């Protein structure tokens, strides 16, 4: 196991009705004037926003609000949010929504105290030195942004999707009420489930040896998703299944399952160009890319892929031919994604094979290589897009 430091300072407040205490948590973490940031309407329609305001009112905390965050959140709304926070002397951001809303909140949080253009943090390695504190009321189990220090934002001009990261962006608190996720359309639930599983796989495929504890934690999250996702698709109001998925989404990405081991992250980078170019859901893009990535790299460590096949998908180990077991596991993953309603190739996603050169260009590797499990070149990335384009069951 490699040396590591694990820092997850967020207070997670889990369960039914917990959103009604959000005012108390804002107070606890020092907020005296709040920006409520939310998405394109689901939180208004469900009555959640009204409950959040009620809680702030009861605690005597003044607020301003900014809705309209789109999936694949845009820089344009973040500029608006930064100005609003400065004008209104906001000192705390309360994000009510999913990963897009939380990531937009993080963009505003790092932009408010910064003299330059907030995009600097997304387009370069510039370090975040200061950020407004944020809290979240999560409405979809997916991105894990409620416990992560990451933020992914799309620049409207050119639809460039880029990320920034800092421990300063980790929320002070995150309110996780699984009931809030019952209004999700099945497709969006499945996109979230795919993202959760992808966050684990990015960590599971590692070159670090003998990391039994994190291997087993990864497998626990994956097995939970394999069991619970079809249950919520069949019965959207199944509270216990929603609860298991919600907590799985958080632990999949606050890094508790990934510490002390090398991680890959190429599937995410390759996917971000798809959701950047086509404005598709991140989880749907991952459903197309991740099995294709697996097929391209599995020979790097056949036994690790065979381990996934046996432990996660219940395949029988073929000791004579472990490669066959490895490939069976990847096929099971793709079949599972198909069964929960995810696209598995370019045409199902709405992507075009002829755009592959554009996607590779946007990925921006040039002559370099990237990836913590298998280092890929631009040519490799093009081949993975090619496999994804034509994938079948």
Q: Which residues are at the interface with ligand NZQ (CB under 6 A)?
A: 39-43, 71-72, 97-101, 103, 139-140, 142-145, 148, 150-152, 180-181, 183-184, 188, 191-192, 195, 253, 268, 282-283
| Phi, psi for 137 (deg, rounded to 5) | -120, 105
Burial of 314 (0-12, 13-18, 19+ CB in 10 A): exposed
Residue 52: contacted member of Zn ion, ligand NZQ, none (CB under 5 to 8 Å, by partner type): none
- Beta strands 92-97 and 160-165: pairing type? unpaired
How many whole angstroms separate alpha carbon 91 and alpha carbon 86?
A: 9
Beta strands in the chain (DSSP E): 11-14, 34-38, 63-66, 92-97, 134-138, 150-155, 160-165, 173-176
Find the shortest distance in angstroms from Cβ 41 to Zn ion: 23
Find the shortest distance in angstroms from Cβ 287 to ligand NZQ: 12
User: Which residue's CB is nearer to Zn ion, number 252 or number 309?
Assistant: 252
Find the shortest distance in angstroms from Cβ 111 to ligand NZQ: 16
In Å, what is the CA distance from 13 to each residue of 9, 18, 133, 177, 330?
13, 7, 17, 8, 35
| Phi, psi for 149 (deg, rounded to 5) | -100, 10
How many whole angstroms separate alpha carbon 30 and alpha carbon 151?
A: 23
Spatial contact of 174 and 37, defined as CB atoms under 8 Å apart: no
Q: Which residue is nearest to Zn ion (CB)?
A: 195
The reply to whether 271 sits near Zn ion by the rule CB under 5 A is no
Residues 190-209 that bind Zn ion (CB under 5 A): 195
User: Which residue's CB is nearer to ligand NZQ, number 230 or number 236?
Assistant: 236
Find the shortest distance in angstroms from Cβ 138 to ligand NZQ: 8
Find the shortest distance in angstroms from Cβ 232 to Zn ion: 19
Residue 258: contacted member of Zn ion, ligand NZQ, none (CB under 5 to 8 Å, by partner type): none
User: Which residue's CB is nearer to Zn ion, number 195 or number 273?
Assistant: 195
How many whole angstroms separate alpha carbon 118 and alpha carbon 79?
A: 8
Residue 178: contacted member of Zn ion, ligand NZQ, none (CB under 5 to 8 Å, by partner type): none
- Beta strands 150-155 and 160-165: pairing type? antiparallel
353 dihedral zone (left: phi>0; alpha: psi -120 to 50; beta): alpha
User: Which residue's CB is nearer to ligand NZQ, number 37 or number 328?
Assistant: 37
Residue 140: contacted member of ligand NZQ, Zn ion, none (CB under 5 to 8 Å, by partner type): ligand NZQ
392 dihedral zone (left: phi>0; alpha: psi -120 to 50; beta): beta
HEC sequence for 191-226: HHHHHHHHHHHHHHCCCCCCCHHHHHHHHHHHHHHH
User: Which residue's CB is nearer to ligand NZQ, number 168 or number 331?
Assistant: 168
User: Which residue's CB is nearer to Zn ion, number 195 or number 380?
Assistant: 195
Find the shortest distance in angstroms from Cβ 153 to ligand NZQ: 8
Residue 183: contacted member of Zn ion, ligand NZQ, none (CB under 5 to 8 Å, by partner type): ligand NZQ
113: helix, coil or strand?
coil
Residue 341: contacted member of Zn ion, ligand NZQ, none (CB under 5 to 8 Å, by partner type): none
Residues 290-349 that bind Zn ion (CB under 5 A): none
Find the shortest distance in angstroms from Cβ 194 to Zn ion: 9
Q: Using CB under 5 A as the criterion, which residues of the chain lie in contact with Zn ion when the complex forms?
A: 195
């Amino acid at each position: 196991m490699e040396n590591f430091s694990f820092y997850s300072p967020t207070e997670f407040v889990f369960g039914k009705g917990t959103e009604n205490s959000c005012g108390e948590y804002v107070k606890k973490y020092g907020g005296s004037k709040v920006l409520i940031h939310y998405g394109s309407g689901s939180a208004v329609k469900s009555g959640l926003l009204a409950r959040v305001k009620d809680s702030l009112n009861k605690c005597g905390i003044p607020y301003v609000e900014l809705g309209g965050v789109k999936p694949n959140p845009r820089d344009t709304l973040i500029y608006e949010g930064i100005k609003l926070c400065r004008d209104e002397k906001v000192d705390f951001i309360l994000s009510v929504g999913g990963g897009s809303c939380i990531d937009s909140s993080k963009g505003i949080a790092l932009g408010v105290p910064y003299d330059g253009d907030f995009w600097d943090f997304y387009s370069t390695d510039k370090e975040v030195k200061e950020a407004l504190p944020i809290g979240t009321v999560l409405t979809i189990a997916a991105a894990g942004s409620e416990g992560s220090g990451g933020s992914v934002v799309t620049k409207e001009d050119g639809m460039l999707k880029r990320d920034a990261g800092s421990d300063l962006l980790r929320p002070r608190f995150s309110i996780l009420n699984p009931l809030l996720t019952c209004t999700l359309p099945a497709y969006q639930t499945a996109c979230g489930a795919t993202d959760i599983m992808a966050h684990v796989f990015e960590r599971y495929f590692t070159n670090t040896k003998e990391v039994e504890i994190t291997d087993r934690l990864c497998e626990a999250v994956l097995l939970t998703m394999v069991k619970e996702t079809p249950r919520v698709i069949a019965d959207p109001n199944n509270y216990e299944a929603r609860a298991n998925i919600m907590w799985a989404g958080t632990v999949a990405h606050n890094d508790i399952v990934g510490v002390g081991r090398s991680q890959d992250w190429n599937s995410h980078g390759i996917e971000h160009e798809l959701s950047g170019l086509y404005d598709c859901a991140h989880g749907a893009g991952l459903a197309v890319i991740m099995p294709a990535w697996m097929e391209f790299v599995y020979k790097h460590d056949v036994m690790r892929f065979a381990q996934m096949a046996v432990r996660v998908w219940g395949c029988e180990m073929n000791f004579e031919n472990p490669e066959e077991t490895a490939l069976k596991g990847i096929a099971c993953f793709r079949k599972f994604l198909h069964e929960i309603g995810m696209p598995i190739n370019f045409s199902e996603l709405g992507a075009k094979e002829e755009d592959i050169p554009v996607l590779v260009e946007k990925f921006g590797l040039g002559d370099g290589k990237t990836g913590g499990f298998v280092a890929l070149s631009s040519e490799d990335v093009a081949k993975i897009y090619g496999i994804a384009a034509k994938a079948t069951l």
